[in-house]
Structure 1
Amino acid sequence: MRGMHSSGLSAHPNQEPRTASAKVNLRQSMAYLVPYLWEFKGRVLLAVLALLAAKGATLVMPWALKHIIDGVDASLAAPIIFPAFFILFYGALRFGSVFFGELRDALFSRVTEHAMRKIGLRVFKHLHSLELAFHLDRATGGISRDIERGTNGISFLMRFLMFNIVPTLFEILMVAIIFAAAFSIWYALITLIAVVLYVVFTILTTEWRNKFVREANQADSSTSTRAIDSLLNYETVKYFNNEQYEADTYDKFLANWEQAKLKNRMSLLALNSGQALIIALAITAMMWMAADSVMNKEMTLGDLAMINAYMIQLFIPLNFLGFVYREIRRSLTDLENMLALLKRDASIKDADGAPPLQISRGEILWQNIHFGYHPERPILQDFNLQIAAGSKVAIVGSSGAGKSTLARLLYRFYDINAGQILIDGQDIRTVTLDSLRRAIAIVPQDTVLFNTSIRDNIAYGNPQASDEQIARAIRMAHLDNFINSLPEGDKTLVGERGLKVSGGEKQRIAIARVLLKGAPILIFDEATSALDSQSENAILEAMREVASGHTTLVIAHRLSTVVDADTIVVMDKGRVIEQGTHNQLLEQQGRYAQMWALQLQDEN
C-alpha cells in the first residue's frame, strides 16, 4: 500500500494495493450524483430560488451601507429619512441573506441525506454481490473506511458544488460589473486579476498537495485496519502474551500516519498563506485607490465603505472557494476507492436469462471436476461423486484433501475450472445464485455469530419465522436447557463474533438456523467437532431427524459421527479413493479402515 512501503509496513497481508483504484474526475462523480438530485427536482428548484434570494441580498447590502454613511455625512446635507430607511433596509437584507441561506440548506439537506442513503446502500449491496475471493483478499476495516469517507465526499460534493462554487463565481462577476459601472474599470480589473491568480494558485498548489492527502488517507485506512485486525483477534493476542508487540506494531502505523498528516498540514500552510497574500495585495491596492479618490473629493466616504464591504464580502466566499476546491479534490480522492468498488464486476454472477433452480428430488452430481484456488495448486482433480436424492453421504479424509471445498463449490462461491456440478440435472452455473443458495443450508465448521441476541442469531435462518418455529428449532437443536439457564434467556447477547458462548453452543445455534431455513439440501461441515460426547450424541440425533427426507452432505473428521451414512466417501489429494458403507469400507481394509483404527486407538 502506498504510504506504507517506505517503512516496510503492510496494512494487512491480504489487503489489495490501493494504487489499483481508478482515479475519478468531477464529471464521472456527477454522473453518479445527478440521478439522485433529479429524484427531488422540486426541492432542488426551491433551494436554487432560496440561493438566488440570499445572493441578491448579499450583493445589495454594501450599496445600502453606502447610503447609510452618506446619509449621516453632514457635508452632503442628506435628508434624515434616507439613512433611517436604509438602516432598516440594511437590517432586512442582513436577515434575508442569512435566512434564505439557511432555508436553502434545509431544503437541500433532504436531497443530500437521501443520496447518501441510496449510494451507501448501493455499495453495501454490491459488496455482498462480489465473490468470496474478493472478501478474503480485502481487509474489512479498510473497506469500511473507504465507504465512510466516500459517502462523506458525496455529501460535500452535493452540498458545495451546486450551492457554493457557481454562486461565488457569479457574485465575483457581479461585483466586478458594479465596480466598473460605479467607479472605475481599474477596480474591476484588480478584482478579476486577483480572482484569476487566486484560482490558478489554488488549483496548482492543490494538485501538488493532493498526493499528501492520498498518503494521509491510506495511512488512516492502514491504521484502522491494523487496529480492527488486532481487536478481532483479542484472544490470540492474549494466548501469546503479545500485547506489547501489538502496541508497538500499531504505534509504527500511527507514526506513519503522523508523518503523512504532517506533510498534509505543511502543504496546507503553503496553500493558505499564498491565498491570503493574493487577497491582501488586491485589497491593499483597491483601498489605496479609493482612499486617494476620497481625499481628492472624487468619491464619498460611503463609496469607500461600499468598496471595502464588497471586498470583505468577496474575501469570505473567495477564501471559501479555495477551501471548497481543496475539499472537492479531496472528496474525489475519497471517492476513488468507493467508486472502484462499484466498478468492480462480480466474477461469480447469474448468466443472462438464468432461470431459478427447480428442485424435484435433490440429487447432486459432481462430474469430472477440476478446481484449484490458485492455478499452481490444484485441489480437486477429476473428481466424481453422486449423492442420490434423500440420501446421506459423508466425506472423510485427511486435512487438505478438498472436503470443505466441495461445500464452497456447491454454493458456487467459486466456479470450477472444468467439469459440471448438477442438481437434479441442472448445471448450477446456469441457474440463479439466489435460488441455488436458497436450496442449500449449511452448518459450517467455524460458526460466526452476529453481535446480537441468541434469538436474533437463530432467526437469521429465516427472519420471517414465527415464534413457534423458532421455539421448535431451539428444541431440536437442544438449546432449550442452555437458554433456560441464562438470566435473560434467548435475549442474551452473544458478543463480538459470538465470543460469549462456547463452541458447542455456537454450533447448536447454527443448527437451529439451518432448521429454520428449511432447505432441501443440507451440509454439515464438521458440525460436531467442537462438542463434547454428550452434546455430540444429542446433536447427532437431531441431525438424523433434520436430515430425514433431505439430501445431506456431511463433511467429517470424527468417523464415529458418520457410521450411519448411506455412503461414506474417502478423499485424498482431491480424488475419491474409496466409497461405501461403514461396514463395507472396514471389510476393504483400505484407507478408511486405517483411519478408523487410529481413531479407536486415540479414544482408548
Structure 2
Amino acid sequence: MGFCPGNSSLVPIWINHGLSRCFMETLISSVMFFIVVVLGGIQVLVFWKRALRRTQRFRTNPFWFRLQIFLSVAMITQYILRIVMYAVFFEPLSGDIELATCFYIASYIVSFFVIAIERTKFLGNQVHGHGFILLLFWSLAFLSENLAFVSWGSPHYWWKLDTQFHQAMFGLWVVRYVITFCLFVLGLRAPGLPQKSYMLIINEDAEDPIEKTPPTIAENRSTWANIVTKLRILWPYIYPKGSFLPQLYLLICILMIITGRVITVYIPVLSKNIVEALSRDPPLFPVRYIMYYLGCRVLQGNGGQYSMFANVHFLLWVRVRQYTMKGLKARLLDHLHNLSYRWHQNRNTGEVLRMMDRGTLSTNQVFGYILFDILPTLADLFIAVVYFYSALSALFGLIMFLALTLFIIGTVAVTEWRTKFRRRMNIKDNIVLHRATDSLLNFETVKHYNNQSFEVGRYRESITDFQLSEWHFTVVGGVLGFFHNFVVSGCLLICSMLCAHYICEGTLKVGDYVLLATYFTQLYNPLSNLSLFYVKIQDILIDIENMIDLFEEKQEIKDEPDACDLIINNKKMEFDNVSFYYNKEKPILHNVSFTVEPGQTLAIVGPSGSGKSTIIRLMMRFYEPTDGHIRLDGQDISKVTQSSLRCAIGVVPQDTILFNDNIRHNIRYGNMHCALEEMEEAAKSADIHVKIKSFPEGYDTIVGERAIKLSGGEKQRVAIARTILKDPDFMILDEATSALDHETEENVQRSLSNVCEGRTTIVVAHRLSTVVNADKIIVLKDGIIVQQGRHEELVEMDGTYADMWKHELRET
C-alpha cells in the first residue's frame, strides 16, 4: 500500500491545475490534529487542575448547543462513511486517506472533551465564549473545505461529476462544507456557555455562594454587541448636524476618499502600460503614461501617508473632530450632573473622569478609522478581487478571495479573543488611577498615620497588575501579526508563482506580472494595516463602552412633562406623612409630618442616624419620598421643576465643599451675576470679609484642593456668605456653625439670625444651645418624630430632648 494514491508523490503541491490531494489531506489533517489534540489537551489539563467547577443549575442546554454537538458527531460519521466509500472504490486504501481519517476523527473526539471542560469549569475571569483553540479548529476546518475551489480545473477533484465516485465525493464535500460552516458560526456564538460573566451570575444569586471573587464584566462579550444602541447614542455627536462648515468639511473628505480609490486602481494599470511600451521592439517612449503615473502618485503619496489628499482631509477632519469632542463632552457632563445623588455616592470620581476622557477621545477616533482606513481598505480589496478576476484570470480572483476570507476570519476570531485582555487592561487602569487619586486627596490622613510606604506599595501593586494584563494583551497582538504576515506572504507567493507559470506558457505577458506585483505592493500595507485598524476599532469600542454605560445610566429624579416653576407667595413648608427607605426592612424615615409657617424657624435634633440629613436631601429632591408629600406654599415639589425648587432653597452644609478656585469665585457661586459690592456685603454678613482682606491676594486667594488653604471656620463662613448671596426664600442650616470657635459662632449666629429673618428656615443641630430660640423643635429617633414643641416645653417633658439637654449641660 502506497502513502499517496496511484503511485503519486506527496510533492509537487500543484499538479494538473490543482492542489495535490495527497498533500492537502496530509497537511490539513495534521495541523488540525496538532491544534485540537496537543494544544486542546494542554487546555483540558490546565482546566482540570486549576479551574473552578460551574454549579449544575447554572449550566444551559439550549437547542443550538445540542445542534453543535450533533454536527460534530455528524462530521465523525461522515469521515467513517468516506473511508468506507474509498475502500469500495479503491483497493487497497492509500495511506494518506487512512492517516487523514484517523486524525480527523481523533480531532473531533478531543473537541468534545474541550467543549465539555469549558462548559463545566471556568478559569479565573473566563466568561461566555469558547477559547481560542476551539475557534481556530473550527475556522481551519471550514477554510480547508474552501480550498477545494482553488482546484476547480483539476481532474483529481470531483467537480466534473463524470464518475459515480466523483459524485459520491462531491456529495460528502457538500455535507462537510455545510457542517463546518455551521460549526464555525455556532462556535462564535458559543450557545452552551453563559452569555455573561459567570461571576456576575453567582453574585446575582446569593443562594449559591462560591469563592469570594469580585464581580467582573462580560470580558468575552463582543464589542459589536448592541452596536445599534451605541450608534444611536453617539450619532448626534459623530455627524455635525446643524453646523454647515463641519458638514462641508466632512463631505469634502468623503469625496477625496472616493477619488483616492479610483487613483489606486489606475496606478498598477499605468505601470503595466509603461512596461509594455518599453518592452516593444522598438520600444516606445511612454511620456503620457509617465506623466499620468506621476500625477496619480502625487495625489496618492506613499501608500496614502504623505499624499496631498491625506494632508488636506487631515486638516479638514480636525475641525470636525473638535466639533464632535466639544458637543460630546458637554453633553456627558450635563448628563452626569443630572444623575441622582445616590449614583454619585456610589461612584469613584477618578474612574468616572477616566471613562469620560477615554470615551470622548475614542468616539472621534472610531469614526476616523472607519471612514479613512477601514472602508477605503475594504474597497481596495474588493476592487483587487474583481480586477484580478477580469484582468488576469478567475483563478487569481479566487485565490485573492480565499486569502482575504482567511485573513478577515482569522483577524475577527483572534481580535475577539484579544478583546477580553483589553477590557482587563481598562479595569486595571481604572484601579491605578483610583488608588493614586484617593491617596492624594487624602494625603493628610496618610501623613497622620505615617502610611506613605503602604500607599506607594498599593499603587505599585496596582501598576504591576496593569502591566501583567498589558503583557498578555501584547502577546496576543504578536500572534495576530504573525498570522497576518503568513497569510499575505502566502497569497503573494502563490499568485507570483502562478503568474510566472502562465507567462512561461505564453498565456500572460511580463506586464501582467508587473501589474500583479504593483497591485500587491499597493495592497500590502493597507492589508497588513487592516487588522491594525480593526484591532484599534475594537480597543476604541471597548473604551467607548464605559462612556456608553455612563450615558445609559437612568436619571432617577426627573421633572414631569407638565412640571411648572415653583411660585413662592407665603413661604410655607409642609411634610405630609413622608416615608423613605432604601430597604423596606430598614426604613430611614417613617410617617414624618410637620408644618413650618411662613417666616418661622424649625429645628430638627436627634442622635446620629436618625434621618436629619435625609430630610434635607428630600427637600432638595436628591431623593424622592417613598410615601407622602412635601409641599412648599401648597405645591407638591415633585410637580415643579427641580431648577426652580433649588433656586428657592439655600443650604449651608456641615461639610463645606469649595471649588479649587479663588475666594471670589466660591462666594459668587451663590449668584454669578451679582455686583462686587453685593459679594463683599455677603462676606461681611458672614464675618469673613476682614479675614479675606488680610490675605496677601485678598479675594483672589486660591483655596486649593478641597479648600485645604483655609481653616475649617473660614471654609464654613465662605459657604455661609455664598448662601447669603443666593438670597433664597427658604433657608436650611445643616449644623452651619459646627466648625467655628465660640466668638466667631456668636457673630455668625447673629448674622444668620438677620439673614433668616422673614425666611422659612430649617436648622439641623447637634448642639441644642444653637436652637433654643427656634419656633418649633422636632426630635427624631430612628426615623420617627418622638417629640415636638418649643425648647421650654420639651425640657419640661421627661423624654429624649430633656435627656439630650441635660447631657449637653453636663458637658458644658
| Greater Cα shift, 316-325 or 273-282 | 316-325
The structure having more radius of gyration, on CA atoms, is: 2
Q: What residue ranges of structure 1 are gaps of 5+ in the alignment?
A: 8-14
Partner of 1:79: 284
1:30 counterpart = 2:30:
no
Task: Quote how far apart the aligned CAs of 1:321 are.
Answer: 1.6
TM-score, normalisation: structure 1: 0.92
1:23-68: CA deviation from partner (whole Å, max 9, x where unpaired): 7433333333443416154333222111112222233223333344
Please name the residue that 2:376 is paired with: 167
Q: Cα offset for 1:589? A: 5.3
Pairing 1:95–2:310 present: no
The farther-off stretch of 322-331 and 133-142 is: 322-331
Q: Which residue of structure 2 aligns with residue 10 of structure 1?
A: none
> Does the CA contact (< 8 Å) of 1:54 and 1:101 recur in 2?
no
Q: Deviations over 1:90-111 (max 9, x none)?
A: 3321221211122223333333
In the alignment, what sits opposite 2:762?
553
Q: Does 1:58 align with 2:259?
A: no
Task: Give, in whole Å, the separation in 1 of the partners of 2:681 and 2:663.
Answer: 15
Question: What is the identity, as a one-letter code, of the residue corresponding to 1:25?
Answer: N
Report how far residue 294 of structure 1 moved.
Answer: 5.3
Which secondary structure does the structure 2 equivalent of 1:121 belong to?
helix
Determine whether 1:239 maps to 2:440. Answer: no
After superposition, residues 561-600 of structure 1 pair within 5 angstroms as 561-588=770-797, 590-600=799-809
Q: Which amino acid aligns with 1:554?
A: V
Equivalent of 1:46 in 231, 236, 252 = 252
Deviation at 1:71, TM superposition (A): 5.1
Partner in structure 2 of residue 248 of structure 1: 457
Query: What is the aligned partner in structure 2 of residue 380 from structure 1?
Result: 589
How many angstroms apart in 1 are the aligned matches of 2:704 and 2:560? Answer: 39
CA distance in 1, matches of 2:361, 2:755: 48
In structure 1, how many angstroms separate the alpha carbons of the residues matched to 2:649 and 2:434?
33
Q: CA deviation at 1:298?
A: 5.9
Deviation per residue, 1:287-306 (Å, 9 max, x gap): 22334455666655554333
Find the aligned partners of 2:602 and 2:330 in 1 and give their Cα distance: 40
1:438–1:598 CA distance, 2 compared to 1 (3 A): same
* 1:312 alignment partner, one of 516, 521, 524: 521
SS of aligned partner of 2:758: coil
Residue by residue, what CA displacement relative to the aligned partner does 1:275-322 show, whole Å, maximum 9, x if unpaired?
Answer: 111001011122223344556666555543332221121111122221
**Corresponding residue for 2:575?**
366
Residue in structure 2 matched with residue 523 of structure 1 by the alignment: 732
Gap change, CA 1:105 and 1:32, over 3 Å in 2:
farther
112, 124, 129: which one pairs with 2:338? Answer: 129
Q: Between 222-231 and 204-213, report the one with greater CA deviation.
A: 222-231
CA contact (8 A) 2:261 2:379 kept: no
Q: Which moved more, 1:304-313 or 1:260-269?
A: 304-313
Q: Secondary structure at the match of 1:505?
A: helix
SS in 1 for 2:655: coil
Residue 398 of structure 1: how far off its partner (Å): 1.6
In the alignment, is the contact (CA less than 8 A) between 1:392 and 1:565 conserved in 2?
A: yes
> What code does the residue aligned with 1:63 have?
V
| TM-superposed deviation, 1:76 | 4.3
Using CA pairs below 8 Å that are at least 6 residues apart, which structure has the higher relative contact order?
Answer: 1
How do 1:49-448 and structure 2 match up within 5 A? Answer: 49-70=255-276, 76-80=281-285, 82=286, 84-97=287-300, 98-293=307-502, 302-448=511-657
- Asked if the contact 1:507/1:527 (under 8 Å) is kept, the reply is yes
Q: Report the alpha carbon displacement of residue 391 of structure 1 after superposing the two structures with TM.
A: 1.0
Q: How many Å apart are 1:363 and its aligned residue?
A: 1.0
- Assess, with a 3 A threshold, how the Cα gap between structure 1 residues 77 and 275 changes in structure 2: closer, same or farther: same
Higher mean Cα deviation, 373-382 or 541-550? 373-382
Q: Secondary structure at the match of 2:787?
A: strand
CA distance in 1, matches of 2:255, 2:388: 26
1:27 partner amino acid: V
The secondary structure found in structure 1 opposite 2:657 is coil
1:19 shift after superposition: 5.3
Asked if the contact 2:652/2:723 (under 8 Å) is kept, the reply is yes
CA deviations 1:343-385 (Å, max 9, x no partner) are 2222221123122222111111112222223333222222222
Measured in 2, the distance between the counterparts of 1:28 and 1:427 equals 36
Per-residue deviation, residues 148-204 of structure 1 (Å, max 9, x unmatched): 222222112211212322222221122233333333333222222211110111111
- Would the aligned equivalents of 1:2 and 1:215 in 2 still touch at CA under 8 Å? no
User: 1:511: Cα distance to partner?
Assistant: 0.8
Distance 1:599 1:17 in 2: 50
Task: Answer whether contact 1:168 1:321 (CA < 8 A) is retained.
Answer: yes
Read off the aligned partner of 1:47 and give its amino acid letter. Answer: C
| SS of equivalent residue, structure 1 residue 202 | helix
SS in 2 for 1:259: helix
How far did residue 390 of structure 1 move?
1.0
Q: Shift in Å at residue 232 of structure 1?
A: 1.5
Q: Distance in 1 between matches of 2:291 and 2:766?
A: 88
Equivalent residue, structure 1, for 2:62: none
Which residues in structure 2 correspond to 1:442-591 (within 5 Å)?
A: 442-588=651-797, 590-591=799-800
Change (3 A) 1:243 1:284: same
- Aligned-partner Cα distance in 2 for 1:100–1:382: 71
SS of the equivalent of 2:604 reads strand
SS of 1:420's partner is strand
Residues 240 and 323, structure 2, Cα contact 8 Å, conserved in 1: no
| Identical counterparts, % of pairs | 35
User: Greater shift after overlay, 566-575 or 35-44?
Assistant: 35-44
Corresponding position of 1:12: none
* C-alpha displacement of 1:251: 2.7
Per-residue deviation, 1:407: 0.5
Moved more, 150-159 or 128-137: 150-159
Report which stretch shifted further, 395-404 or 516-525: 395-404
Q: Distance in 1 between matches of 2:506 and 2:315?
A: 47
Contact 1:440 1:521 in 2 (8 A): yes
Name the aligned partner's letter for residue 457 of structure 2: D
Instruction: Encode CA deviations 1:489-527: one digit per residue, 9 max, x unaligned.
Output: 111111111111111111111111111212101111011
Aligned to 2:33: none
Q: In structure 2, the residue corresponding to 1:143 is in which secondary structure?
A: helix
Task: Write the letter of the residue equivalent to 1:57.
Answer: I
Which moves more between the two structures, 459-468 or 266-275? Answer: 459-468
| Alignment check: 8 A CA contact 2:604 2:778 kept | yes
User: 1:562 & 1:512 partners in 2: Cα distance?
Assistant: 21
Give the match's secondary structure for 2:774.
Answer: coil
CA distance in 2, matches of 1:478, 1:17: 52
In 2: Cα distance, 1:149 partner to 1:579 partner: 53
Amino acid at match of 2:717: R
